[in-house]
Structure 1
Amino acid sequence: MMSGLHRCSSAPLKNGLPPQELLDDLCSRFVLNVPKEDQQSFERILFLVEYAHWFYEDNTVEKNPSLKSFSLKEFTSLMFNSCEVLKPYVPHIDDIFKDFKSYKVRVPVTGAIILDQTYERCILVKGWKGTSWSFPRGKKSKDEEDHACAVREVLEETGFDVSGLLSKEEYIEVIFGQQRVRLYIIAGVTDDTAFAPLTKKEISEIAWQRLNDLQPASDDVISHSVTGLKLYMVAPFLKSLKSWISKHAPPVASKSDSSHRGFSVWKAKNSSLGSSSTSVDNQHTKPISDPHVAETGPSPVDETGPGKSFRNFSFNTGSIIQAMESAFSS
């Protein structure tokens, strides 16, 4: 098998498209060289393609800016058209991608609501693109427990390890359509705690936000706070969070109002929004380079939805691997 992207020395094609050698390597690393159970459905395959996309954007493009950056859908089309085992399914790629998007919104999500010592502020993160804020959270991986997913996702998005503070019984859960979102309450974190994401191009800012500032602008406009923050994924948790706080005395009494205003604790230097630097730049990579790890896609969910006729399939990679090995050993 090919050992890594360092073997791909070919210059990128015109218009910044990656060379075939690079695409072959990505296909080998992220699609072919995985356990067979992860090749049994297009949902699993698309998760692997998504990991290849992250690796390409976070590593390859960053090291070679002449290469073109792609959306996930564009990159998926590129991989299907370039990878021999996926080429037969190119005519169905629109249905496959639509099915994948539908599948993703049904995968359970977990994360954490991190409160300061007065229970008056919480940590929110802002995505790399757009202006919406949310609690740090993410989708569960295959066979992953809820609390383990929360610890992993919070660590990736904030650099803060909540494993020693998390109680499996202290959480708030909300159902969004077909998706379950569970957020564990992590209370009593000091406001001088260092935060910085361990992933690239996913989080553009981390901030302590005052809970009073997160109140909906009105009963009719619950997606925005009184201060104008976009809170689509925050507002549904606030009522239950207030109820929890009313039953638990904070370890530190409230101070003056001015000393507990919200403030940013980390901001990316070079986000797509052009935000200025206020802290350490994001220098770490999402840990996806090894497709053998447990994070190879979430557990199977409801077997219905668009593209279901493509849900069960397998392909023989033996001949492809043998041909690739022969080509690189000659």
Structure 2
Amino acid sequence: MRIERIEAIPYAIPYTRPLKFASGQVTTADHVLIRVYTDTDICGIADTPPRPYTYGETQDSIVSVVTKIFAPQLIGLDPLDRSKVQQILRRTVNNPTAKGALDIALWDLIGISLGTPVHKLLGGFTDSMRVSHMLGFKPAAELLDEALEFRSVHGINTFKLKTGRRPLELDIEACRVLREGLGDGTEIYLDANRGWTANEAMEVLNRTEDLGLSMLEEPCDAGENLGRRRLVQHSKIPIVGDESMSTLGDVSRELLSGGSNAVCIKTARSGFTEAQQILGLCEGLGVDVTMGNQIDTQVGSLATIAFGAAFEHSSRRAGELSNFLDMSDDLLAEPLQIVDGAIRVRDVPGVGAEIDPDKLAKYRQD
């Protein structure tokens, strides 16, 4: 079995409920669908989310690097030679989601070729993941209405609140309104997307200490070294690294330097191969992980579920898996279903992302 050709298809699907946060906002899923074909007529699929405000990638740059840089080097290789593929991808710096999607697509076609679900190839710990829903910048009352709706309709009982606003009172009010409206049995955690300084983050934590918040993600820029370390040392809840930890090397640096004491894993930027290495490092050090979301489509969310459910350590916490519900449509032929606050893995060979050809034809941009 050899890689025969690679496609990078740009497409765009509008969001009905755009997500706004400290480092940007998303109104349209202007993503890239990656398809890797073999000479045995097997096709592996993955989704790539451009996030220029986080990784510097755009839809055009992803299509270009995949088709002009990576594809010529990967065509002709055996997909099972995953370490060789990783070595080739590492020769080109940055471009994390382009690399991550290629890796996921290769795992997908390997699973298909072996007739085995990828979540079982990876580890097979469980067959579902609890769901966390992300809440963007809105007035506090609207945030509570959205959370109550998602809890009532989908059974979701874990929420990530996007924070990092100024004045700080906006975020503090939102925390209090959510806690009062949702009750003590609902998990709430924060993600400031580097929107505060370390001192501002400490003030927010001090003023919300009585609310039982579970985590704070990327409170400030990781380059604010002394302030961030001081925050980690004094915080009573885990300080989670996300965009400051895109690679295995980043994770080890931030954990060892004291810049974070929990890690957000996103398969969209690390693929399954590097995500396994990050997870192993965290498990060995006794560090909690969360399965994060790049405001993913259902294709991307399905990949996160496959990885998160594969391992005990990554399945402990609810994964951020529901923001595809904010989209007007999707490419999956069989939509994902959230039942009692959880999503099951697809018990089919590969990852299970079968694409609806009519929808792809409707939304593709090339």
Taking structure 1 as the reference length, the TM-score comes to: 0.24
Taking structure 2 as the reference length, the TM-score comes to: 0.23
Structure with the higher strand share, 1 or 2: 2
Mark the structure with the bigger radius of gyration: 1
